[in-house]
C-alpha cells in the first residue's frame, strides 16, 4: 500500500465521486467495457450507501498500482530476467500559443501509456504501449528485445544496488495549474502580451504557455513502488523588434515544478515584459563585437549555461566515459576557489526526490575546490564507475527509456563583488543572457549570447548584438580568475535526444582568457 | 462511427487526424549493443472551429470513446478561446497524387537485422583503428500510417516506412579525445550503405588525431551537407515561412522576385525527389503535396505556406503544414529541402584549395538569430586544408549572416547527401570564400 487506510479515509471525505464518474475513471484507466467497469466500481466502493458511490482517485490509483505489482510478479515468474520495470504515466496538459493577439494553439492533451524496461541476460530491452490491456504483451516484447541485445554483448550490463522504495511524492505547489481556470490562464497571457507590445520597437510577440497535472508511477521487480503527483508550469516568450538600426529577437523562459501558479507573483507580467524589453533594446542598440579572445565577466545566467554546456554534459557519466573528464576524475582542473555542482536548488526546474529508476536524488559535487570529484550517474554507470547511483536517470515521458541527465547545474558562490570583477579590464565583454548552447565530447562548447555589453576601462559600456562564445572547457576552467558572491538561476530545457526541464546558474565569474567571442568584426 | 458527423454537432468545421507509429530500434554505446526496443504509439488530434474559435485536443490512442470524448473536450477549449477574425477555413477537398508503395520487406524486418548492422560496422571500425570508440549510434526502422479527414470531405491516408543507421565515433589516444565524428544513412528500403558510412568515419577519424591550430581572419570554408543543412534550418528557413512574411518578421518579406543570393543557388522543396525518404501525397492538414520553388538562380521565387497563413495572404497553402504532435498545432515546414548540385567533385574542390577549412558539423546553429539570419557557431569537427590536402582537425568559430554567406558561394559539389537529422533534405558540399573565423584551437 502506498497510502495508509487512515489517510485514504481522510481523502475520501475530500474527493467524492459519483458512480458515473467512477465508471468513467475505471474505463479511462482500464479500457474495459462499461459493464465491467460498473462491476469494478462496486467492488472497490467504500461507501455504506450503494446509491452514492464514493471512491477517491487515490484509492483507485492504489488499486491500480496493486495491479501493476501483480503484473511485475507475473513477469518475474514467467521470464528469465534480472530486472523488470514499468513506468506508467497519465498526464493532462494545457498548451497555448499566443502570437500577436491570436491563440494559434489552444489545446488540451491527455497522455496515457506505459514504458517497459527489461534487463535480461545482461542486456536491455524496451517497449511501450498506450493500451492498458497490452501491458503484459509489452513486457514480453521488451524481454524479446533484451534477448536480441544480449546475444551480442560481451560485457553484461549490471546495475548498482539501491534500496527498494515505497513512497508517494507529493507536489510542493501551493496552487496547482489544474486549480486555475483556463480563462484566468489566458487572461494572464493577454495581459503579458499587452505589456510586451507597449514598446514601440516590438514588431511581433509569441508567448507559449504549457502546464501539466497528472500521475506518474514506477513499479519494479525489486519492490520499488513510487507514485508522483506530477505538476509543472512553463512559459516561453519570443520577442521580435525593429528600429532604424535593424532587427533583433530575444527569448525569455520561466518554469517551475515546485512553485505553482504562485510563481507568477514573482514572475509577474510586468517583470517578464520589462526583462524582455531590456534584452531587446540591448540587441537593437548593440554593435557587433570584435571576434577573438578577450577577458569576460559572465553574469549568473551565462555562468549557468557554461556550467551546463561546457562542464555539465561532460559530467554525465555516459558522456564522461568518452570525454577528457574520464581521465581527470580526482585531479585539479580549476583554481581552488572554483566549485560546481548539480544539486537541488530552491525553485530549481530539475528538482525531484527520486529519479525515473527509483534512485534517490543526491547533490553531486562535480568540482570541489577545483578538483573534479563526482559525476552524474544512473544505475548502469554507477556500477561501471563503482559509485552509488545519484538520481540522474530521467525520461522525458513513458515512451522513452531514462537516460543520464542534469537537473540544476550551478557554480558555487565565491567572495568577490561585481565591481571587483570588472576592475582592471581595459577591454572585454560583460555577458548577461544566452540563446542556446551546445557541447562536444572534446570539451568544445558554444553558447549563443542574446544580451551582452562591452567592458571598457572597468566600466560597462555599449551593448553588443548577435554573438556567441566558445572555448575548450578543460582549458577555459583554468582561466577563471575570480568568483562573485551573488547567485542567480535560469530555467530552461535541455535536449539530449529527449527534452528535460533543467535549471542552471551561479554567481558572476571572471575569465581572464580562454573564451573566444565570435563576431562579425 | 462517422466521427466527422459527430464533430459537426459541436463545430462549424472539424478535422480528425490519427497517427500510428511503430519503431524498431537497436542502439550501440561503447562498442556494444546497449538496448533494443520496440515502440507502438497511436495519437489522435482533434482540431475544431466553432464561431471562428479554435479548439484542439490530443490523446494517446484512437478508440471510439477517446475520439468522441476528445471532440467534446476540443469543443470546450474552443468555447474558451478568442474569436479569430482572420480564420478562413479548413482545407477543401483535394486531388492527390498516387501513393508510393512502401517496402513491405523493410516493414517486416526483425530487430536482429539492425543489431547486426551496428555490430558489423563497429567491428570493422575497431579492426581498422584500435584507438576508435563507437561512442553511440542507432539503427532501426520507423513505420508511420497517418489519416487526416475533415468536414470539407478531405480524407487522405498514407503510409511510410524508412530504415536508418548512424554512428558517432571518437578516437582516444591517452588524454587526447578527438571530436565526435558522425555520419548516417536513411533509406526507403533495407539497403543501408554501411560501407560508405564506415569508410567515411574511418577516413575522418584518421585525420582528426592531428589537432592543428586555426587562424583568425577571413578564409575559404567548405560546409559539408550536415553543417550546411543545420545552418540553413536555423537562419534561412525561418524567413521563408509564410507566417513570418505576414507578421513582418521575415527579412525576405519584400524580396519576392529579387535576386538576393548567389546565382548558383537553386533551392526547392521537393517531396518526390529520388533521394527523398518520405514521398508524401499530402501534408498534415490533408493539403496535396507539391514541388515548391524557393530560389532559382538566387532569385526568391516563393515562400512556404500552411492552410491558415496561406488563407490570410490569399495565396493558399503550398502543402507545408506540419503538425506538432505534442500540442496538435500546425507549423510551416519543408518536406524535403533540396539544394541543387554543382559540377565539381568534392575531392576536386578540396584539391584546389591552398589554405582553407572543411567543416563537418556545427555547434550552436540553433542559437542563431532567425529574425536577422545572423549566426555565430563553432565548427567542430572541422579540418584544415593546406595545398589541397587535409592536414588535421581543428576547432574555430564561424560568424556572419546567412544572406551574406550565400552570396559568397564559390562552388557547389556534384555530389549530394541525404540529411535526415540536423535539418532535413538533400544538400551538396558548398565552398564559400571570405568567411569570418576566430580560432578556438590554439
Kindly report, residue by residue over A495-517, the tens digit of the pLDDT: 888 999 999 999 999 999 999 99
Shortest distance between the Cα of B91 and any Cα of chain A, in A, equals: 16
Q: Does A145 touch chain B (CB under 8 A)?
A: yes
Q: What is the mean pLDDT of residues B114-126?
A: 96
Nearest to B111 among A145, A328, A441 (CB): A145
**CA–CA separation, A292 and B217 (whole Å):** 10
**CA–CA separation, A379 and A401 (whole Å):** 13
Could you tell me which of A303, A493, A258, A508 has the C-alpha nearest to residue A410? Answer: A303
> B84-114 pLDDT, tens per residue?
999 999 999 999 998 889 999 999 899 999 9
Residue A170, class by beta-carbon neighbours within 10 Å (0-12 exposed, 13-18 middle, 19+ buried)? exposed
> B5-39 pLDDT, tens per residue?
999 999 999 999 999 999 999 999 999 999 999 99
> B400-442 pLDDT, tens per residue?
999 999 999 999 999 999 998 766 899 999 999 999 998 886 6
pLDDT of residue A65: 64
pLDDT of residue A32: 43
> A413-471 pLDDT, tens per residue?
999 999 999 999 999 999 999 988 888 888 888 999 999 999 999 999 999 998 899 99
Could you tell me which of A461, A208, A410, A214 has the C-alpha nearest to residue A305? Answer: A410
Could you tell me which of A244, A305, A364, A358 has the C-alpha nearest to residue A491? Answer: A305
pLDDT of residue B176: 78
- Residue A40, pLDDT > 80, answer no
Mean residue pLDDT of chain B comes to: 95
A 157-216 near B (Cβ less than 8 A): 157, 182-183, 186, 203-204, 210
**CA–CA separation, A98 and A190 (whole Å):** 8
- Residue B213, pLDDT > 80, answer yes
- Residue A46, pLDDT > 70, answer no
> B343-379 pLDDT, tens per residue?
999 999 999 999 999 999 999 999 899 999 999 999 9
Where residue A139 falls among pLDDT bands split at 50, 70, 90? very high
Where residue A57 falls among pLDDT bands split at 50, 70, 90? low
Residue in A24, A438, A498 to test binding to B, most B beta-carbons within 10 Å: A438
**CA–CA separation, B21 and B145 (whole Å):** 6
Residue A306: count other Cβ atoms within 10 Å of its Cβ: 32
- Residue A263, pLDDT > 60, answer yes
Nearest to B372 among A110, A445, A466 (CB): A466
**CA–CA separation, B214 and B438 (whole Å):** 8
pLDDT of residue A322: 85
Q: How large a percentage of chain B has pLDDT more than 70?
A: 99
Q: Does B123 touch chain A (CB under 8 A)?
A: no
Chain B neighbors of A125, CB-CB under 8 A = 35-37
> B142-165 pLDDT, tens per residue?
999 999 999 999 999 999 999 999
- Residue A62, pLDDT > 80, answer no
Residue with cell 540591448: A282
Please answer whether residues B20 and B83 qualify as being in contact, where contact means their C-beta atoms are separated by less than 8 angstroms: no
Nearest to A446 among B74, B378, B439 (CB): B378
> A190-237 pLDDT, tens per residue?
999 999 999 999 999 999 999 999 999 999 999 999 999 999 999 999
Mean residue pLDDT of chain A comes to: 88
Could you tell me which of A168, A165, A221, A178 has the C-alpha nearest to residue A62? Answer: A168
pLDDT of residue A324: 85
- Residue A48, pLDDT > 90, answer no
- Whether the link from the prior residue into A39 is cis, omega within 30° of 0, is no
pLDDT of residue A59: 54
- Residue A485, pLDDT > 80, answer yes
pLDDT of residue A294: 95
pLDDT of residue A440: 83
Q: What is the mean pLDDT of residues A280-309?
A: 94
pLDDT of residue A50: 39
- Residue A165, pLDDT > 50, answer yes
Pairing label, strands A225-243, A246-256: antiparallel
Residue in A441, A465, A478 to test binding to B, most B beta-carbons within 10 Å: A441
B221 forms bridges with which residues in the sheet? B357, B432
Nearest to B366 among A146, A204, A436 (CB): A436
**CA–CA separation, B5 and B151 (whole Å):** 8
Where residue A154 falls among pLDDT bands split at 50, 70, 90? confident
Could you tell me which of B147, B404, B385, B279 has the C-alpha nearest to residue A520? Answer: B404
- Residue A34, pLDDT > 50, answer no
Half-sphere exposure of A106 (CA within 13 A, CB side): 31
Where residue A2 falls among pLDDT bands split at 50, 70, 90? very low
C-alpha cell of residue B172: 582516444
Q: What is the mean pLDDT of residues A397-402?
A: 96
Q: How large a percentage of chain A has pLDDT more than 90?
A: 77
Could you tell me which of A224, A439, A477, A219 has the C-alpha nearest to residue A335? Answer: A477
Could you tell me which of A395, A368, A199 has the C-alpha nearest to residue A280? Answer: A199
pLDDT of residue A44: 42
Q: Does A372 touch chain B (CB under 8 A)?
A: no
Q: What is the mean pLDDT of residues B304-325?
A: 97
**CA–CA separation, A306 and A27 (whole Å):** 48
Residue in A102, A107, A112, A448 to test binding to B, most B beta-carbons within 10 Å: A107
Please answer whether residues B29 and A318 qualify as being in contact, where contact means their C-beta atoms are separated by less than 8 angstroms: yes
Where residue A298 falls among pLDDT bands split at 50, 70, 90? very high
| Beta strands per DSSP E along B190-308 | 217-223, 267-269, 292-296, 299-300
A 76-95 near B (Cβ less than 8 A): 95
Shortest distance between the Cα of A105 and any Cα of chain B, in A, equals: 5
Where residue A63 falls among pLDDT bands split at 50, 70, 90? low
Q: How large a percentage of chain A has pLDDT more than 70?
A: 87
Pairing label, strands A102-120, B53-60: parallel
pLDDT of residue B424: 80
Q: Does B210 touch chain A (CB under 8 A)?
A: no
Where residue A29 falls among pLDDT bands split at 50, 70, 90? very low
Amino acid at each position: 500500500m502506498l497510502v495508509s487506510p487512515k489517510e485514504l479515509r481522510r481523502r475520501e471525505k475530500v474527493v467524492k465521486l459519483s458512480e458515473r464518474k467512477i465508471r468513467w475513471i475505471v474505463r479511462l484507466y482500464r479500457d474495459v467495457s462499461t459493464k465491467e467497469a460498473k462491476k469494478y466500481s462496486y467492488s472497490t466502493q467504500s461507501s455504506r450507501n450503494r446509491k452514492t458511490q464514493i471512491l477517491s482517485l487515490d484509492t483507485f490509483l492504489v488499486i491500480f498500482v496493486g495491479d501493476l505489482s501483480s503484473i511485475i510478479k507475473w513477469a518475474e515468474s514467467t521470464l528469465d530476467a534480472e530486472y523488470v520495470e514499468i513506468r506508467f504515466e497519465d498526464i493532462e496538459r494545457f498548451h497555448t500559443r499566443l502570437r500577436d493577439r491570436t491563440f494559434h494553439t489552444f489545446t488540451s492533451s491527455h497522455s496515457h501509456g506505459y514504458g517497459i524496461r527489461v534487463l535480461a541476460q545482461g542486456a536491455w530491452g524496451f517497449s511501450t504501449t498506450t493500451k492498458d490491456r497490452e501491458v503484459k504483451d509489452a513486457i514480453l516484447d521488451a524481454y524479446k528485445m533484451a534477448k536480441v541485445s544480449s546475444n551480442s554483448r560481451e560485457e553484461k550490463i549490471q546495475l548498482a544496488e539501491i534500496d527498494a522504495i515505497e513512497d508517494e511524492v507529493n507536489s510542493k505547489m501551493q496552487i496547482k495549474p489544474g486549480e486555475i481556470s483556463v480563462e484566468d490562464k489566458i487572461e494572464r497571457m493577454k495581459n503579458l502580451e499587452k505589456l510586451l507590445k507597449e514598446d514601440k520597437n516590438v514588431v511581433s510577440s509569441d508567448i507559449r504557455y504549457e502546464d501539466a497535472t497528472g500521475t506518474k508511477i514506477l513499479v519494479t521487480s525489486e519492490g520499488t513502488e513510487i507514485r508522483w503527483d506530477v505538476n509543472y508550469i512553463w512559459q516561453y516568450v519570443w520577442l521580435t523588434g525593429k528600429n532604424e538600426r535593424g532587427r533583433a529577437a530575444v527569448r525569455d523562459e520561466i518554469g517551475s515544478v515546485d512553485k505553482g501558479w504562485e510563481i507568477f507573483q514573482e514572475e509577474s507580467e510586468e517583470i517578464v515584459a520589462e526583462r524582455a524589453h531590456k534584452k531587446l533594446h540591448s540587441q537593437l542598440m548593440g554593435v557587433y563585437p570584435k571576434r577573438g579572445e578577450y577577458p569576460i565577466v559572465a553574469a549568473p545566467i551565462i555562468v549557468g549555461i557554461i556550467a551546463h554546456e561546457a562542464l555539465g554534459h561532460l559530467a554525465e557519466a555516459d558522456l564522461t566515459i568518452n570525454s577528457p573528464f574520464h581521465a581527470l576524475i580526482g585531479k585539479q582542473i580549476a583554481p581552488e576557489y572554483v566549485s560546481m555542482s548539480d544539486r537541488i536548488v530552491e525553485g530549481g526546474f530539475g528538482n525531484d526526490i527520486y529519479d525515473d529508476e527509483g534512485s534517490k536524488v543526491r547533490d553531486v559535487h562535480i568540482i570541489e575546490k577545483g578538483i573534479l570529484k563526482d559525476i552524474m550517474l544512473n544505475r548502469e554507470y554507477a556500477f561501471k564507475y563503482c559509485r552509488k547511483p545519484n538520481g540522474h536517470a530521467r525520461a522525458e515521458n513513458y515512451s522513452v527509456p531514462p537516460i543520464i541527465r542534469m537537473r540544476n547545474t550551478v557554480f558555487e558562490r565565491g567572495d568577490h563583488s561585481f565591481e571587483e570583477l570588472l576592475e582592471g579590464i581595459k577591454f572585454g565583454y560583460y555577458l548577461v543572457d544566452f540563446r542556446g548552447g551546445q557541447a562536444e565530447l572534446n570539451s568544445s562548447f558554444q553558447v549563443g549570447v542574446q544580451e551582452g555589453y562591452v567592458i571598457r576601462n572597468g566600466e560597462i559600456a555599449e551593448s553588443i548584438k548577435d554573438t556567441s562564445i566558445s572555448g575548450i572547457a578543460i582549458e577555459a576552467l583554468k582561466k577563471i580568475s575570480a568568483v562573485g558572491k551573488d547567485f542567480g538561476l535560469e530555467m530552461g530545457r535541455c535536449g539530449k535526444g529527449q527534452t528535460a526541464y533543467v535549471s542552471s546558474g551561479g554567481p558572476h565569474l571572471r575569465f581572464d582568457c580562454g573564451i573566444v567571442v565570435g563576431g562579425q568584426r | 462511427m462517422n466521427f466527422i458527423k459527430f464533430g459537426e454537432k459541436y463545430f462549424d468545421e472539424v478535422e480528425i487526424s490519427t497517427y500510428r507509429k511503430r519503431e524498431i530500434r537497436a542502439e550501440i554505446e561503447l562498442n556494444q549493443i546497449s538496448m533494443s526496443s520496440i515502440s507502438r504509439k497511436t495519437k489522435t488530434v482533434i482540431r475544431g472551429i466553432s464561431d471562428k474559435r479554435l479548439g484542439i485536443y490530443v490523446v494517446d490512442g484512437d478508440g471510439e470513446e477517446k475520439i468522441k470524448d476528445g471532440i467534446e473536450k476540443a469543443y470546450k477549449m474552443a468555447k474558451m478561446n478568442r474569436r479569430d477574425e482572420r480564420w478562413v477555413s479548413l482545407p477543401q477537398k483535394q486531388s492527390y497524387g498516387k501513393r508510393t508503395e512502401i517496402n513491405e520487406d523493410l516493414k517486416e524486418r526483425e530487430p536482429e537485422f539492425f543489431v547486426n548492422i551496428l555490430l558489423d560496422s563497429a567491428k570493422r571500425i575497431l579492426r581498422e583503428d584500435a584507438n576508435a570508440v563507437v561512442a553511440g549510434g542507432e539503427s532501426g526502422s520507423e513505420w508511420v500510417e497517418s489519416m487526416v479527414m475533415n468536414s470539407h470531405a478531405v480524407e487522405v491516408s498514407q503510409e511510410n516506412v524508412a530504415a536508418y543507421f548512424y554512428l558517432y565515433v571518437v578516437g582516444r589516444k591517452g588524454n587526447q579525445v578527438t571530436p565526435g565524428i558522425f555520419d548516417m544513412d536513411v533509406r526507403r528500403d533495407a539497403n543501408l550503405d554501411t560501407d560508405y558510412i564506415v569508410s567515411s568515419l574511418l577516413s575522418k577519424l584518421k585525420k582528426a588525431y592531428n589537432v592543428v591550430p586555426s587562424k583568425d581572419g577571413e578564409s575559404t570554408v567548405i560546409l559539408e551537407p550536415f553543417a550546411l543543412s543545420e545552418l540553413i534550418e536555423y537562419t534561412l528557413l525561418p524567413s521563408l515561412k509564410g507566417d513570418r512574411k505576414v507578421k513582418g518578421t521575415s527579412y525576405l518579406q519584400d524580396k519576392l522576385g529579387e535576386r538576393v543570393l548567389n546565382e548558383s543557388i537553386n533551392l526547392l522543396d521537393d517531396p518526390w525527389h529520388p533521394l527523398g525518404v518520405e514521398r508524401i501525397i499530402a501534408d498534415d492538414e490533408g493539403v496535396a503535396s507539391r514541388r515548391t520553388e524557393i530560389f532559382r538562380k538566387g532569385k526568391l521565387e516563393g515562400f512556404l505556406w500552411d492552410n491558415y497563413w496561406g488563407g490570410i495572404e490569399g495565396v493558399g497553402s503550398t502543402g507545408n503544414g506540419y503538425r506538432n504532435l505534442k500540442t496538435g498545432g500546425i507549423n510551416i515546414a519543408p518536406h524535403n529541402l533540396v539544394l541543387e548540385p554543382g559540377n565539381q567533385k568534392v575531392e576536386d574542390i578540396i584539391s584546389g584549395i591552398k589554405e582553407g577549412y572543411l567543416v563537418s558539423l556545427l555547434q550552436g546553429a540553433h542559437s542563431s538569430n532567425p529574425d536577422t539570419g545572423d549566426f555565430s557557431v563553432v565548427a567542430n569537427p572541422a579540418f584544415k586544408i593546406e595545398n589541397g590536402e587535409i592536414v588535421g582537425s581543428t576547432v574555430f568559430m564561424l560568424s556572419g549572416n546567412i544572406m551574406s554567406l550565400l552570396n559568397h558561394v564559390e562552388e557547389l559539389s556534384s555530389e549530394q547527401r541525404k540529411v535526415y537529422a540536423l535539418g532535413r533534405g538533400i544538400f551538396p558540399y558548398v565552398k564559400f570564400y571570405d568567411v569570418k573565423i576566430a580560432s578556438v584551437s590554439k
